[in-house]
Amino acid sequence: MTATKRWAATVGIAVVALIGCKHDHSHGDHPHAQGSEEAADEPEPVAITNWTEHHELFVEFPPPSPGKPVKYHAHVTRLRDFQAVTEGKFTVRFKTSAGVATETSIDGVARAGIFTPEGPAPTEGTYTLEMAYAIDGKTDVFECGKIVISSKPPEGNDEGGGAISFLKESQWKIPFGTAWAEERPMAKEIELPATVEPASGDQLTISAATGGRFFHNRKRTLAEGLNIKKGDIIGTISPTVAGDDFSRLQFAVEDARLERKHTQHELERIEPLVAQGVLPRRRLTELKHELRSQNAKLKSARRRLGRVVAPGGAGGLVMKSTLDGVIAHVMVPNGEPVEPGTPLLRIRGTEHVWIRSRFVARPVSELVDAKPAAARLATGERIDLAGGDARFLSSLPVIDPQTRVATWVVDVEPHVTTQDHAKDKARPNLAIGSSVVLSVRIGTPRTVLAVPTGSVIDINTRPFVFVQVDGESFDKRAVTLGDRDGPFVEVASGLEKGDRIVTVGGFDVHLASLMGAVESHRH
């Protein structure tokens, strides 16, 4: 049965008794007014519930009499978030094979979610009742079945709604949701403890390309746990210069400085004597050449010393990260001498991860054709792994023959986003080092009736599901559960395909069953 046919079948014959709203209503614009002697003689209103892909309609109105005004009380819920609509146009049409017999419309809500159009009913006969909600140029049409317009009073109908009344005003104020009970392929799942670690190919150790002293980048603190980008400078290696150690290089600088100072003083002494003709000009020229040579010698000595003591000094070898990731281990302190090939820094990537599970070995027959299904975080969040970018590295776990501990590794590759096809981090919530629960799907899937796990409410240790009979009435159904598969659980008995079940807010409906109507209509 298609969804459209199923929704039409839900309302079927529209002349049904109103269900559930057996409360005292203090405002006269609601079609019910039970609680008074006059109301006892009035016929039960017509109540219709219908769904489209985007909206739910729950409408109440008195049984129409030929040509008489009919006031409708229509509740329209937006299925995207199960909230009341706040604007739009609502239309009621009585149709025959020849066309529209009568049409009544109203622009705007009387209150959030509620439209109250009023118009005449057509003449006696059988009509197709159609209602429509329009907003932003889009229209949802609700096919409400056949309705008989007659001057005779309608016969009583003992068919009521569900035993639990939970009004729209209450549904709109809380997290709430409903869905059709559907059949889906299900397989058995088992859960295994696991930890998240970087994939072996997504780890990098940066080593010294030459001997010297390793100086950390002064603009970036190298510490475990810090994020680092590909191309970031981690530091420099100042190579050993011709085998000279630090003290010899210092002595060379000081010796060159003193020689230059002595020559400069000698030049200043004889320059006046040359001007007076006491000394030949050749002596002055020789001293100037000697001073230039000693300036170059001092500059070279200082440069050689700077290469050893100053990070990033002239000639220092710049070391960069070649991987986006997190610093896992800083292996050389700032300024320490290193040999060629000495490990400096270890980086672990975050895009490509492994989920490693260790558990007591199970019979191999239980794990044949197993596939990773999901990872559940400590927060309860479930991360789907069944999208094709996760796989076991081995078809069966590796078992230690001594300890009988099995190890199984799931490789979670980076994926491509569907919007811009740009490479993104594979699973941002799978933090390296975190503990997770790995769900493994085993066996051949079976097509069974299944519901979201959140729709099952445990009451006195027994599982129940709440079925929406109409817009404001619900039944509590005891169910027998089968296998779980991801966010769904099999229902072996107690529920039928096509039932409208409460997926969010079931416990609030349960409270309503304990307390009666949680809130009267205050329209």
For the chain, the domains span 3-160, 182-196+352-515, 209-342
- φ, ψ (nearest 5 deg) of residue 103: -145, 135
Comparison of pLDDT for 316 and 224, the residue scoring more: 224
Give the pLDDT mean for 10-25. 35
Q: Per-residue pLDDT tens for 493-506?
A: 999 999 999 999 99
Comparison of pLDDT for 354 and 108, the residue scoring more: 108
As a whole number of angstroms, the distance between CA 185 and CA 448 comes to: 6
Comparison of pLDDT for 52 and 197, the residue scoring more: 52
As a whole number of angstroms, the distance between CA 399 and CA 361 comes to: 7
| pLDDT in the model for residue 507 | 94
Comparison of pLDDT for 508 and 333, the residue scoring more: 508
As a whole number of angstroms, the distance between CA 261 and CA 75 comes to: 99
| pLDDT in the model for residue 302 | 79
114-118, 188-192, 314-318, 428-432: least confidently modelled range? 314-318
- Asked whether 92 and 103 are in contact (CB, 8 A), the reply is yes
Give the pLDDT mean for 166-176. 94
What CATH number does the domain located at 3-160 have?
Answer: 2.60.40.1930
As a whole number of angstroms, the distance between CA 134 and CA 88 comes to: 6
As a whole number of angstroms, the distance between CA 305 and CA 213 comes to: 12
| pLDDT in the model for residue 239 | 67
Give the pLDDT mean for 172-192. 91
Q: Per-residue pLDDT tens for 203-232?
A: 778 888 777 778 888 787 787 777 888 888
Alpha helices in 144-224 (DSSP H): 168-171
Q: Which CATH architecture has domain 182-196+352-515?
A: Beta Barrel (2.40)
- Beta pairing, strands 371-376 & 500-504: unpaired
Report CA-CA distances (Å) from 198 to 47, 325, 372: 59, 10, 17
As a whole number of angstroms, the distance between CA 291 and CA 285 comes to: 10
- Asked whether 274 and 266 are in contact (CB, 8 A), the reply is no
77-81, 108-112, 390-394: least confidently modelled range? 390-394
| pLDDT in the model for residue 201 | 67
| pLDDT in the model for residue 172 | 96
Compute the mean pLDDT over every residue in the chain, rounded to the nearest whole number: 81
Comparison of pLDDT for 2 and 153, the residue scoring more: 153
Give the pLDDT mean for 372-381. 87
Q: What percent of the chain has pLDDT over 70?
A: 80
The dihedral of CA 445, 450, 451, 453: what is its sign? Answer: negative
Give the pLDDT mean for 152-171. 75
CB-side neighbour CA atoms (13 Å) of 95: 14
Note the pTM of the prediction, 2 decimals: 0.59
Helix H or strand E encompassing 29 = none
Cβ-proximal residues to 516 (8 Å cutoff; 6+ apart), any chain = 165
Q: What percent of the chain has pLDDT over 90?
A: 41
The SS3 call for residue 242 is coil
Task: Count the neighbouring beta carbons within 10 Å of the beta carbon of residue 453.
Answer: 15
Dihedral of CA atoms 243, 246, 252, 254 in degrees, nearest 10, equals: 180
- E strands present in 208-352: 212-216, 227-228, 233-239, 317-320, 325-330, 336-338, 343-349
How many residues in total does the chain contain?
523
| pLDDT in the model for residue 41 | 60
Give the pLDDT mean for 19-43. 45
| pLDDT in the model for residue 283 | 81
Comparison of pLDDT for 11 and 40, the residue scoring more: 40
One-letter amino acid of 51: W
Task: Identify the band that residue 388 occupies on the pLDDT scale cut at 50, 70 and 90.
Answer: low
Comparison of pLDDT for 368 and 17, the residue scoring more: 368
Q: Per-residue pLDDT tens for 414-464?
A: 654 334 444 444 445 777 778 999 989 887 788 999 999 999 999 999 999
How would DSSP label each residue in 260-291?
HHHHHHHHHHHHHHHHTTSS-HHHHHHHHHHH
One-letter amino acid of 11: V
| pLDDT in the model for residue 247 | 60
End-to-end CA, the chain: 37
